[in-house]
Structure 1
Amino acid sequence: MTDQPKTIVFDVNETLSDMSSLADAFDAEGLPPLTARVWFGGILRDGFALTVTGDNRAFSDVAKDSLQRLCADMLGSGNHTAAVDNILGTLTSLPVHDDVVPGVAALAELAELVTLSNGAASVAEGLLARAGIRSHFAELLSVADAAAWKPGTSAYGYAAMERGRQPAEMLLVAVHPWDIHGAHRAGLRTAWINRTGGAYPTYFDAPDLEAGSLPELVEKLPAG
């Protein structure tokens, strides 16, 4: 990457939000803590399946329906409304990762910032407001207003159109390799935030940049 992007596009779930408290929420309802990750992965799987078939259902609809069925399967028959509400409440009131506040503040000095989430823009609004960094973002975008979920190409095209940019002028920042792959195929530049030190999948297009945190990403971007 030889020049700075004009717009930095952030994924929200897991990239900005710290989802570790979901395991505690599952445990509090009598569900194995590791089930939280399985449930969230299932939301993405089903959302991607809907994208392939040309459908675009709200993230919250997929999340709630799948959680209701999961509770019924694991907790038995009965009314699980309270458990579902408590877990979904945790999902929509998560904190940001420790590196997000300083990283976003520094990145805002370099480029316009926006979000692009498979979830609702209102969830991103709450997350950033609680962290005190909402003012750094020019716009909070959701695929609810696009033709499909990420990593569908049209989702990234929607973000470029909304901001009046060419895809190559934008940098997607995400922890999910599938998001990096989709953005690359749509013509965006990409930065993979690898907080865990894991290996990047060999079957996805590689990111343009890799960093262990958002402040580290700032150091890897070209000087203005």
Structure 2
Amino acid sequence: MTVRPLVVVFDVNETLSDLGPMGGRFTEVGAPPELSRVWFAGVLRDGFALTAVGACEPFAMLAADSLRTVLHGVPLNRDVDAAVDHVMGGFAELRVHPDVPDGIRALRAAGHRLVTLTNGAVQVADRLLTGAGVRDEFERLLSVDDAGVWKPAEGAYAYAARTCGVEPAEMLLVAVHPWDIDGARRAGLQAAWVNRTGTPYPSCFTAPTMTVSGLDDLARRIRT
């Protein structure tokens, strides 16, 4: 790293939150649990597609629409609207990954300013971090809803830098998604890829500034 980051910016969905339990929500409405991953990937696809043509819609709206598509033709145990409501309700019960609380506290104790930047809603991030007991460690919870453009578009990261009053190079984006890492790097940020599973990083994307196994590992890596 060439510059010690002043602000550490966290993606929320999958980076901080464990989306694994969402598969159980699909099971509970009579759908295969593996549809959870198909659905979430479709939400991202639709958000990126709208961003590419200059449009921006809330995550929750796209998620509900995508659910109706994914669940079409599946023999559910309730009507589709009730099934959509049940699956969407799972976001309110998500928990953070085990490495998150200690990592967050260590980063804040080391003097870093912490913020989130999510393609989802601020309310979801607030509930998640409050439940983990680390909400007060964060200076701001930011969403692309206020940026007017989804990540990985440059405008989303520029909005975060502008809001925090720093240069992009003084920010470190932390995410599990290579597309987010690539977007941040192209926007001038440093970026830490959280690789909890040992998955290879796609060569088509700009490489991260560093790769870490979790937020506890990140805190050790940027302590000085």
Q: Normalization by structure 2: what TM-score?
A: 0.96
- The amino acid that maps onto 2:52 is V
Q: How does 1:177-216 map to 2 (within 5 A)?
A: 177-216=178-217
Once the two structures are TM-superposed, the CA of residue 104 in structure 1 deviates from its matched residue by: 0.4
Contact residue 3 and residue 170 of structure 2 kept, 8 A: no
Three-state SS of the structure 2 residue aligned to 1:103 is helix
Match of 2:24 in 1: 24
Three-state SS of the structure 1 residue aligned to 2:199 is coil
Alpha-carbon displacement from aligned partner over 1:186-219 (angstroms, at most 9, x marks no partner): 0000000000011000000000010101111112
Question: Identity over aligned residues, as a percent?
Answer: 50
Tell me, in whole angstroms, the C-alpha distance in 1 between the residues paired with 2:92 and 2:58.
14
Contact residue 2 and residue 222 of structure 1 kept, 8 A: no
Q: Which moved more, 1:47-56 or 1:79-88?
A: 79-88
Once the two structures are TM-superposed, the CA of residue 94 in structure 1 deviates from its matched residue by: 0.5
Match of 1:161 in 2: 162
Once the two structures are TM-superposed, the CA of residue 92 in structure 1 deviates from its matched residue by: 3.0
Tell me, in whole angstroms, the C-alpha distance in 1 between the residues paired with 2:190 and 2:75.
44
Three-state SS of the structure 2 residue aligned to 1:92 is helix
Alpha-carbon displacement from aligned partner over 1:24-82 (angstroms, at most 9, x marks no partner): 11111111111100000000000000000000000000001111222223237x83222
Q: How does 1:1-224 map to 2 (within 5 A)?
A: 1-75=1-75, 79-110=79-110, 111-221=112-222, 223=224
Tell me, in whole angstroms, the C-alpha distance in 2 between the residues paired with 1:168 and 1:74.
47
Three-state SS of the structure 2 residue aligned to 1:150 is coil
Tell me, in whole angstroms, the C-alpha distance in 2 between the residues paired with 1:153 and 1:205.
14
Contact residue 3 and residue 222 of structure 1 kept, 8 A: no
Q: Which moved more, 1:98-107 or 1:1-10?
A: 1-10
The two structures, once aligned, show a CA RMSD in angstroms of 1.4
Contact residue 3 and residue 169 of structure 2 kept, 8 A: no
Three-state SS of the structure 2 residue aligned to 1:33 is coil
Alpha-carbon displacement from aligned partner over 1:82-107 (angstroms, at most 9, x marks no partner): 21111101123200000000000001
How many pairs were matched up?
223
Once the two structures are TM-superposed, the CA of residue 128 in structure 1 deviates from its matched residue by: 0.3
* Deviation beyond 4 Å, 4+ runs, structure 1: none
Once the two structures are TM-superposed, the CA of residue 147 in structure 1 deviates from its matched residue by: 2.5
Q: Normalization by structure 1: what TM-score?
A: 0.96
Once the two structures are TM-superposed, the CA of residue 222 in structure 1 deviates from its matched residue by: 5.3
Three-state SS of the structure 1 residue aligned to 2:184 is helix
Structure 1 unmatched ranges of 5 or more: none
Tell me, in whole angstroms, the C-alpha distance in 1 between the residues paired with 2:54 and 2:196.
33
Structure 2 unmatched ranges of 5 or more: none
